[in-house]
């Protein structure tokens, strides 16, 4: 996949994200403007209606108090004082004769010919202006003696105010479009910066192969920032794993060179010898070296499978005391030959959910190490005890012990302290123990005092862990 194509895809995504933001921003502003417009129109209509209702009530009260002359004077006084300069006022007597009529200039477009016929109609009427769509809202009050007072108000002023609101709204809408576009670009650039940093870091790793590169993080709770932190953690683990693999390969090359050399020397010696006994001895030694190589490679594969979660674990309810006895019996003769006391302190009935074969392999490796590095007259004790939702198993010896500077590395592959390099072994036993225990969801630990012995322990959960189930 070309870099140019990837860049175009990334830019297209950025544009889409900016467009989504701008569209959402504009849609929200438009919805708010529409709601504001509707509320304003309703408020203005309600205000006009209240004015009409107030004038009608005032005129009806004046007519009831002093009759038509007083009503006429009140209307004329209001007109002279400009109280209803935008109102139409019409008074009709009981014979449908217009006794008073006043209308503001510019109202000729309203068809008022049907007002006489509508005298006994609904108290609220509306007459439309066909030229500009304005509406004359008309309220009527019919008095007990048949006189009808009518007050009307045009929607011209209200319509003009709403028209100006729409014009300003369009102007503001254009400004909102610009703000949304600029805001979308800026927010997209800022929001996608962590992804750009991530992309640049991963591209740099792909191009240079350097695993020490890290994504720039800002220490916030932003999900993209947390993603960068997780990627950094993953890169750290990959770097550590690759470094461990390189070290392991170096150690494997170093440790396999010797048995391969011995294998070749044995084969060469057998070839040049004519004695049948020498040939048999050579073949026996070759088989021994082949077994050693096979054991090394098998252990490395087991460790790799356990660490990557591909090891097949067959869980079952395991009686811990029985598994410990089986593992101890494998080294009982060797311990007796070396003069090492081998003791078991595991209570009956202690059970865990585990793979019995792999658990026996863990115990065998720990017991073998303990017996190997314990001098005659020393002791090796295998104990177990229940912990909250777990079981702790410990293998304690009174052997040579391990120096403090070596303790952090005893679980590493092919690691052996200098004082133990002369001891024959693969250097993989403790690494395999750690890998199998962690595949079961447990943890390992070690404590040691040089000259006083060591204690290797592991803790397994009683219940089968979710991780690693097969």
Residue 87 has phi, psi (to 5 degrees) of -110, 145
Q: Which letter, b or e, does each residue of 101-132 get, where b requires 16 or more Cβ atoms within 10 Å of its Cβ? A: eebeeebeebebeebeeeeeeeeebebebeee
> What is the rounded average pLDDT of the residues 196-209?
78
Q: What is the pLDDT of residue 143?
A: 82
How many Cβ atoms are within 10 Å of 350's Cβ, its own excluded? Answer: 18
Mean pLDDT of the chain: 79
Q: Would the pLDDT of 249 be above 90?
A: no
| pTM as predicted | 0.49
Are the CB atoms for 236 and 217 separated by under 8 Å?
no
CB 323 within 8 A of CB 359: yes
Listed as own residue / partner, the contacts of 19-23 with beta carbons closer than 8 Å and 24 or more positions apart are 19/184, 21/180, 21/183, 21/184, 21/187, 21/188, 22/177, 22/180, 22/181, 22/183, 22/184, 23/180
**pLDDT for residue 410 is more than 60:** yes
Q: Tell me, letter by letter, the H, E, C secondary structure of 407-455.
A: HHHCCCCCCCCHHHCCCCCCCCHHHHHHHHHHHCCCEEEEEEECCCEEE
Say whether pLDDT at 292 is over 60: yes
Q: What is the pLDDT of residues 345-357, one digit of tens each?
A: 999 889 999 999 9
Q: Which two tokens stand for residue 122?
A: 């609904």
Alpha-carbon gap, residue 54 to 141, rounded angstroms: 12
Q: What is the pLDDT of residue 83?
A: 65
Residue whose C-alpha is closest to residue 139's, from 127, 128, 157: 127
The residue ranking higher by pLDDT, 412 or 61, is: 61
The torsion of the CA quartet 400, 404, 407, 408, rounded to 10 degrees, works out to -170
């Amino acid at each position: 996949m070309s870099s140019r194509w990837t860049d175009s895809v990334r830019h297209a995504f950025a544009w889409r994200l900016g467009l989504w933001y701008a569209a959402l921003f504009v849609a929200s502003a438009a919805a708010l403007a529409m709601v504001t417009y509707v509320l304003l129109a309703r408020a203005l209509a309600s205000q006009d209606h209240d004015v009409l209702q107030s004038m009608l009530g005032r005129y009806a009260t004046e007519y009831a108090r002093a009759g038509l002359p007083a009503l006429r004077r009140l209307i004329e006084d209001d007109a002279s004082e400009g109280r209803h300069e935008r109102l139409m006022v019409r008074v009709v007597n009981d014979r449908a004769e217009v006794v008073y009529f006043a209308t503001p200039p510019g109202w000729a477009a309203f068809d008022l010919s049907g007002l006489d016929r509508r005298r006994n109609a609904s108290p609220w009427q509306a007459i439309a202006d066909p030229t500009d769509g304005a509406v004359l809202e008309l309220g009527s009050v019919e008095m007990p003696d048949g006189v009808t007072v009518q007050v009307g108000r045009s929607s011209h002023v209200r319509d003009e105010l709403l028209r100006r609101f729409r014009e300003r709204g369009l102007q503001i809408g254009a400004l909102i479009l610009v703000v949304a576009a600029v805001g979308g670009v800026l927010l997209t650039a800022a929001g996608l910066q962590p992804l750009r940093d991530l992309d640049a870091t991963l591209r740099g790793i792909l191009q240079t192969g350097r695993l020490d590169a890290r994504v720039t993080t800002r220490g916030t709770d932003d999900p993209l920032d947390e993603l960068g932190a997780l990627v950094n953690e993953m890169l750290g683990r990959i770097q550590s794993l690759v470094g461990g693999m390189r070290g392991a390969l170096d150690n494997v090359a170093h440790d396999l060179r010797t048995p391969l050399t011995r294998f070749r020397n044995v084969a060469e010696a057998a070839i040049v010898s004519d004695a049948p006994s020498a040939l048999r001895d050579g073949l026996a030694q070759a088989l021994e070296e082949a077994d050693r190589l096979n054991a090394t490679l098998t252990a490395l594969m087991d460790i790799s499978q356990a660490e990557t979660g591909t090891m097949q674990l067959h869980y079952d309810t395991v009686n811990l005391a029985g598994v410990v006895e089986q593992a101890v019996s494998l080294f009982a003769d060797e311990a007796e030959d070396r003069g090492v006391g081998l003791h078991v302190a595991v209570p009956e009935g202690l059970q865990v959910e585990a793979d019995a074969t792999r658990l026996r392999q863990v115990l065998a490796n720990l017991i073998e190490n303990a017996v190997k590095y314990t001098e005659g007259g020393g002791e090796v004790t295998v104990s177990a005890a229940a912990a909250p939702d777990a079981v702790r198993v410990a293998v304690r010896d009174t052997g040579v012990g391990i120096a403090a500077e070596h303790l952090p590395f005893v679980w590493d592959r092919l690691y052996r302290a200098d004082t133990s390099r002369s001891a024959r072994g693969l250097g993989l036993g403790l690494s395999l123990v750690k890998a199998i225990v962690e595949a079961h969801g447990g943890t390992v630990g070690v404590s040691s005092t040089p000259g006083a012995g060591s204690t290797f322990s592991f803790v397994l959960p009683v219940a089968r862990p979710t991780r690693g189930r097969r």
